[in-house]
Structure 1
């Protein structure tokens, strides 16, 4: 019998073969190989390299037929990671920039290397790099590769998990003291009528696929010991700090370890999907009850559930509460309606608590996670019924949607410097911390009798008024 002619098989085809073998456990590999018209030895090799191929599916071009590394592998690994960071920031990169950066990397690694045109061509081809006009993150996504990932990797990764054990986490930056002001405008954003205080935090939000478990928020600020925390025993969110209020590898690793312990205490095993932001280290500590998987690079805008409307919903509710507070204190000096860090954390926690279960489940469906309900609800732009009053009081024509998006440009994670990338992706150390001199002084702690008296007054207020602000 004439032997089967060997032919090159792309990464996408190999992933499809793995999927076929996994789904047909009662069929022998000899039969499957015959159906696919490939040698049994080829099929066995693919299955033996299963883990390596699955890892490559996240980082390599799916059309590649050979996964051999180049002669200057160390340089290329660092260069590719640098390229992804820049593309994640929507910065244009061309061949000349790649060559110059490759030389810089080689010098830092003490490697004698001169990038030729031939090397550049092979590097781009192997990594699947193309130069596109920068018009936003979503337009840089290769939807073909996204669909392949959804159909092969995603379905396989979540096969052994129920919806309640499939999680996604993401960070977002927040200016928590943004106020309407007709004399201010964002530079380059065309968002007039918004004054930005330099009070920023980064928040990490995490939930499971069916929306039944929303984990407590992690908030990162600049102050090590904010004055508003004085005498406070319990915080509304988990709090960490560094002098940039950014997520770092150290903070994120601590978060993963705590989450792993939380699940171990409940005897649960979960899977957590993350984007490839610089603060999410690829080398992780041993996690027994938590499996971490990364989305393909530059696909956050279409694959990450939290980016499909959850974070936007949180910001909407937070800004709505901020506007209510502002209107109630409109006659007060500015420092009377400025939020302290503790008040901002409380307001943010309440906003997260009020995000509906259906909203989260719908965002997972929109990201391509399989669900019993195939229907994806159209996102309804929530309104703010008191915003016209704000526009009148502050003499601005800024829309509430612009007010909500005022800090969408904030990066929650720092970009790693070239020196950091050259140290084999070692998690970055947390920077030194300082006390926040801008934090409000801690208010006196009320006595038990004073607290009871305040509750009594609050109850009488609720029963005596029909027009009670939503935030109460």
Structure 2
């Protein structure tokens, strides 16, 4: 019997290296297939066998469910067949660890394991309340979960936390490292790169409970008693970014739902924020990559082109878990600030974020006052129920617009003092105090329990609440499925909704009627003429759109405006006789465009 040929014999193909994709990469594979790419094309793109791509497609449900709850999208294992309470607990625990690291809260192994047992007990009790028939000895009961050392090691690997730093003392701000970085490292980077203030940017993210009122108000008290989801726990993450010249780019907004009901029929590419989403409404590495390439790069290119400067950018980031180390783009230098120096030298943390939140709170109360003045029949509680994520986005944009350029510029003084020598205007602290005072005055106009006796301390307490450590209740809400809102839009509604020619005609007619009413009722003709001219200027964009859409309709074939019944009754070419109009089809005399 001939000996078996060795695998290393001449002419033998080398064994193919096994390749494991991360959860995020598998989701991208599924997205490519969903867009119509073939199995072979996707395999070539990722260097996979076609059979592997087909297997990923077969496991789509498990992969997407894992991606929805996974703390770290870099994990490579799919969660399948595990206890739901443990999966929910681990997702919340990972989020809590990330929040603690962001806020420099010390963590040790025993603290994490104790938190795991605490969260597991809470979620197990919640499951028992929804399923009264659950047996005490059923799998997943809190008495069976001990958060052992073996579980903790597997948890670290499962969520890619193997290199997580555990320490017993609080991570205090490192003044020596901050001073050394400013005097040496940063100064050398600026000199070698020859950067202008317009080319140096800093990005940071912050949590915002966008529908929270001070705790003493009757609105918050009523929500606390209401069962189910509480609006004041609804959290978004804002990505703010500005440069040393005081310019702020369009903010990124991360929400828990991809398609909330309030954004139906809205073009998400034309919102006042850069829209992103994940079930926990928090920053992740894939979302940071998305923001960097789809928002930061285009916005900065336009800005520098308008300033007549070359596309040469320095982007400063902190060492947050959600910031990937592999950000790259030609012309952009990424620089990470030293650990534990954020509170000392990061510009966005030198008053910009806190001032923004004060301005947002003021604008929210202003929004409520204006709504109550406009409609006397609506109560404050009814109005607050109608305060949607769209209203939040408007107030976010207004708060950033209200932030003076000089205020943002001055917040770079600790990191780059050479460019902030001629500061003029309100400081971030003065702007914040002014916004808080205005918020108190607006609250008194609203009236009611907790509003008519509101103080500056109440507003400051509300601002502090945005930065507090996440409670168990917060974690439970953030790890819930985003299905509480209507994520899936009705395709039939989407086709018919939007700004149609008919809608534009109505808008223009309403504006014309409003001008007529003002001219008839206002005894001051000069004032009414000023209003007419201002409204004409504001409506110009819709007038141009109306004209453009009318031209498009007139260029379409007339048969598009005929009904199917009319077309079916028209004689075909074979049935026509050459006697009438040389065989040409006789169309109706009415002009179908007149109906538009």
1 CA distance for matches of 2:422 and 2:183? 15
Query: How far did 1:254 drift?
Result: 1.5
Question: 1:202-221 maps to which residues of 2 (within 5 A)?
Answer: 202-211=237-246, 213-221=247-255
Alignment check: 8 A CA contact 1:260 1:289 kept: no
Q: Secondary structure at the match of 1:153?
A: helix
1:342 matches 2:390: yes
2 CA distance for matches of 1:84 and 1:156? 32
1:92 matches 2:106: yes
1 CA distance for matches of 2:512 and 2:361? 26
Match of 1:359 in 2: 407
Question: 1:270-419 maps to which residues of 2 (within 5 A)?
Answer: 270-284=313-327, 286-330=328-372, 332-333=378-379, 334-337=381-384, 338-371=386-419, 373=421, 379-380=429-430, 381-382=433-434, 383-385=436-438, 387-388=440-441, 390-391=443-444, 393-396=447-450, 397-399=454-456, 400-409=459-468
Alignment check: 8 A CA contact 1:228 1:439 kept: no
Structure 1 residues 147 and 314 mapped into 2: Cα distance closer, same or farther (>3 Å)? Answer: same
5+ residue gaps, structure 2, are 1-95, 113-147, 158-164, 222-229, 471-479, 529-596
Question: 1:415-426 maps to which residues of 2 (within 5 A)?
Answer: none
Alignment check: 8 A CA contact 1:174 1:407 kept: yes
Greater shift after overlay, 231-240 or 433-442?
433-442
Structure 1 residues 93 and 391 mapped into 2: Cα distance closer, same or farther (>3 Å)? Answer: same
1 CA distance for matches of 2:388 and 2:98? 37
Structure 1 residues 410 and 208 mapped into 2: Cα distance closer, same or farther (>3 Å)? Answer: farther
Alignment check: 8 A CA contact 1:222 1:434 kept: no
2 CA distance for matches of 1:438 and 1:179? 26
Q: Secondary structure at the match of 2:438?
A: coil
- Cα RMSD for the two superposed structures: 4.3
1 CA distance for matches of 2:392 and 2:512? 22
Cα deviation 1:445-472 (Å, max 9, x = unaligned): 65344256358759969968xxxxxxxx
Query: How far did 1:231 drift?
Result: 2.2
Q: Secondary structure at the match of 1:179?
A: coil
Q: Secondary structure at the match of 1:273?
A: strand
1 CA distance for matches of 2:189 and 2:360? 34
Alignment check: 8 A CA contact 2:288 2:323 kept: yes
1:166 matches 2:185: no
From the two aligned structures, give the one with the greater helix fraction: 2
2 CA distance for matches of 1:384 and 1:86? 32
> TM-score if structure 2 supplies the norm length?
0.48
The count of aligned residue pairs is 333
Query: How far did 1:141 drift?
Result: 0.8
Structure 1 residues 455 and 346 mapped into 2: Cα distance closer, same or farther (>3 Å)? Answer: farther
Structure 1 residues 131 and 107 mapped into 2: Cα distance closer, same or farther (>3 Å)? Answer: closer
Question: 1:5-404 maps to which residues of 2 (within 5 A)?
Answer: 86=100, 88-93=102-107, 132=169, 134=170, 140-159=172-191, 160=193, 161-180=195-214, 181-182=216-217, 197-211=232-246, 213-233=247-267, 234-258=270-294, 259-260=296-297, 263=300, 266=305, 267-284=310-327, 286-330=328-372, 332-333=378-379, 334-337=381-384, 338-371=386-419, 373=421, 379-380=429-430, 381-382=433-434, 383-385=436-438, 387-388=440-441, 390-391=443-444, 393-396=447-450, 397-399=454-456, 400-404=459-463
Q: Secondary structure at the match of 2:344?
A: helix
5+ residue gaps, structure 1, are 1-81, 110-126, 187-194, 412-430, 465-472
Alignment check: 8 A CA contact 2:108 2:167 kept: no
> TM-score if structure 1 supplies the norm length?
0.59
Q: Which has the higher contact order (CA 8 A, sep 6+)?
A: 1
